[in-house]
Protein backbone atom coordinates (compact mmCIF):
# COMPACT_ATOMS: atom_id res chain seq x y z
CA UNK A 1 0.00 0.00 0.00
CA UNK A 2 1.09 3.58 -0.60
CA UNK A 3 1.48 6.17 2.17
CA UNK A 4 -1.80 7.70 1.08
CA UNK A 5 -3.61 4.35 1.18
CA UNK A 6 -2.27 3.67 4.66
CA UNK A 7 -3.40 7.11 5.84
CA UNK A 8 -6.81 6.55 4.27
CA UNK A 9 -7.04 3.32 6.28
CA UNK A 10 -6.31 5.24 9.50
CA UNK A 11 -8.96 7.80 8.54
CA UNK A 12 -11.43 5.02 7.68
CA UNK A 13 -10.81 3.45 11.09
CA UNK A 14 -11.46 6.79 12.79
CA UNK A 15 -14.77 7.22 10.97
CA UNK A 16 -15.85 3.63 11.67
CA UNK A 17 -15.00 4.14 15.33
CA UNK A 18 -17.26 7.19 15.53
CA UNK A 19 -20.08 5.11 14.05
CA UNK A 20 -19.37 2.44 16.69
CA UNK A 21 -19.51 4.82 19.63
CA UNK A 22 -15.80 5.59 19.96
CA UNK A 23 -13.68 8.66 19.50
CA UNK A 24 -12.70 9.97 16.03
CA UNK A 25 -9.19 8.52 16.03
CA UNK A 26 -7.58 5.66 14.13
CA UNK A 27 -4.01 4.46 13.65
CA UNK A 28 -2.12 2.01 11.47
CA UNK A 29 1.37 0.61 11.93
CA UNK A 30 3.01 -0.60 8.75
CA UNK A 31 6.27 -1.67 7.19
CA UNK A 32 7.02 -1.57 3.48
CA UNK A 33 3.38 -0.80 2.74
CA UNK A 34 2.05 -3.78 4.72
CA UNK A 35 -0.23 -3.22 7.70
CA UNK A 36 1.09 -4.91 10.84
CA UNK A 37 -1.48 -3.57 13.32
CA UNK A 38 -4.29 -1.07 13.73
CA UNK A 39 -5.89 0.72 16.63
CA UNK A 40 -8.83 2.97 17.38
CA UNK A 41 -9.75 5.12 20.34
CA UNK A 42 -11.61 2.97 22.90
CA UNK A 43 -11.28 5.20 25.97
CA UNK A 44 -14.97 5.25 26.85
CA UNK A 45 -15.79 1.76 25.54
CA UNK A 46 -13.07 0.11 27.61
CA UNK A 47 -13.03 2.58 30.52
CA UNK A 48 -9.30 2.98 29.88
CA UNK A 49 -7.95 6.54 29.59
CA UNK A 50 -4.84 5.17 27.85
CA UNK A 51 -6.77 3.36 25.10
CA UNK A 52 -5.97 5.94 22.43
CA UNK A 53 -5.66 4.79 18.82
CA UNK A 54 -1.88 5.13 18.67
CA UNK A 55 -1.28 3.31 21.97
CA UNK A 56 -3.71 0.58 20.94
CA UNK A 57 -1.92 0.15 17.60
CA UNK A 58 1.49 0.07 19.30
CA UNK A 59 0.28 -2.57 21.77
CA UNK A 60 -1.14 -4.68 18.95
CA UNK A 61 2.02 -4.38 16.84
CA UNK A 62 4.31 -5.21 19.76
CA UNK A 63 2.21 -8.28 20.61
CA UNK A 64 2.07 -9.38 16.96
CA UNK A 65 5.82 -8.99 16.50
CA UNK A 66 6.87 -10.13 19.96
CA UNK A 67 9.01 -7.06 20.60
CA UNK A 68 8.81 -3.65 22.25
CA UNK A 69 11.14 -2.15 19.63
CA UNK A 70 9.22 -1.14 16.52
CA UNK A 71 12.23 0.25 14.65
CA UNK A 72 11.70 -0.19 10.92
CA UNK A 73 7.96 0.50 11.18
CA UNK A 74 5.88 3.63 10.57
CA UNK A 75 2.69 4.89 12.15
CA UNK A 76 -0.17 6.54 10.29
CA UNK A 77 -2.60 8.29 12.58
CA UNK A 78 -5.73 10.21 11.76
CA UNK A 79 -4.69 13.05 14.09
CA UNK A 80 -1.49 14.55 15.49
CA UNK A 81 -0.86 12.57 18.66
CA UNK A 82 -1.50 13.81 22.17
CA UNK A 83 1.50 14.02 24.53
CA UNK A 84 0.91 10.49 25.88
CA UNK A 85 0.74 8.96 22.42
CA UNK A 86 3.69 10.95 21.15
CA UNK A 87 5.70 9.64 24.09
CA UNK A 88 4.59 6.09 23.31
CA UNK A 89 5.58 6.54 19.66
CA UNK A 90 9.06 7.66 20.71
CA UNK A 91 9.39 4.81 23.24
CA UNK A 92 8.32 2.30 20.57
CA UNK A 93 11.08 3.70 18.32
CA UNK A 94 8.86 3.96 15.26
CA UNK A 95 10.80 5.33 12.29
CA UNK A 96 8.29 7.86 11.04
CA UNK A 97 4.88 9.29 11.82
CA UNK A 98 2.25 10.57 9.41
CA UNK A 99 -0.90 12.31 10.64
CA UNK A 100 -4.03 13.79 9.09
CA UNK A 101 -5.67 16.27 11.44
CA UNK A 102 -3.55 18.49 13.67
CA UNK A 103 -3.86 19.35 17.36
CA UNK A 104 -5.76 22.55 16.56
CA UNK A 105 -8.35 20.52 14.63
CA UNK A 106 -8.66 18.25 17.68
CA UNK A 107 -8.96 21.22 20.04
CA UNK A 108 -11.77 22.63 17.90
CA UNK A 109 -13.93 19.55 18.58
CA UNK A 110 -13.16 19.32 22.29
CA UNK A 111 -9.94 17.29 22.41
CA UNK A 112 -7.65 19.98 23.80
CA UNK A 113 -4.27 18.72 25.00
CA UNK A 114 -2.66 22.16 25.24
CA UNK A 115 -2.93 22.17 29.05
CA UNK A 116 -0.72 19.06 29.19
CA UNK A 117 1.90 20.63 26.95
CA UNK A 118 1.77 23.72 29.19
CA UNK A 119 2.10 21.64 32.35
CA UNK A 120 5.16 19.82 31.00
CA UNK A 121 6.97 23.14 30.74
CA UNK A 122 6.51 23.82 34.46
CA UNK A 123 8.51 22.62 37.44
CA UNK A 124 6.59 19.85 39.27
CA UNK A 125 5.90 22.20 42.21
CA UNK A 126 4.18 24.66 39.86
CA UNK A 127 1.85 22.19 38.14
CA UNK A 128 -1.87 21.92 38.78
CA UNK A 129 -1.50 18.30 39.85
CA UNK A 130 0.00 18.38 43.35
CA UNK A 131 3.04 16.14 43.66
CA UNK A 132 5.88 15.57 46.08
CA UNK A 133 8.91 13.34 46.40
CA UNK A 134 8.26 10.53 48.89
CA UNK A 135 10.63 7.78 50.09
CA UNK A 136 13.35 8.65 47.59
CA UNK A 137 16.01 6.85 49.62
CA UNK A 138 14.00 3.63 49.38
CA UNK A 139 12.92 4.03 45.77
CA UNK A 140 16.46 4.67 44.50
CA UNK A 141 17.47 1.15 45.53
CA UNK A 142 15.61 -0.36 42.55
CA UNK A 143 17.49 2.02 40.24
CA UNK A 144 20.79 1.03 41.82
CA UNK A 145 19.95 -2.66 41.38
CA UNK A 146 19.03 -2.02 37.73
CA UNK A 147 22.29 -0.14 37.12
CA UNK A 148 24.29 -3.07 38.52
CA UNK A 149 22.31 -5.82 36.78
CA UNK A 150 24.44 -7.42 34.09
CA UNK A 151 21.72 -9.37 32.26
CA UNK A 152 19.17 -6.55 31.91
CA UNK A 153 17.31 -5.93 28.68
CA UNK A 154 17.71 -2.22 28.01
CA UNK A 155 14.91 -0.30 26.37
Selected catalytic residue, list 16, 54, 145, 148 = 54
Count CB neighbours of 121 within 10 A. Answer: 8
Report CA 75 to chain centroid distance, whole Å.
10
Any long-range contacts for 136-141 (C-beta under 8 Å, 24+ apart)?
none
Describe the crossing of helices 53-65 and 83-92 by its angle, rounded to 10 degrees.
20
Is 54 tagged catalytic?
yes
Q: How far apart are alpha carbons 117 and 102 in whole angstroms?
A: 15
What stretch of H or E contains 45? helix 43-46
**Residues designated as active site:** 54
Amino acid sequence: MTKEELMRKAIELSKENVANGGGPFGAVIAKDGEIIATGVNRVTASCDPTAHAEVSAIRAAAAQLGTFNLSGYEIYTSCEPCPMCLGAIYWARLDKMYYGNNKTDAKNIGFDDSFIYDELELKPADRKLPSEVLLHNEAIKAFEEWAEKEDKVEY
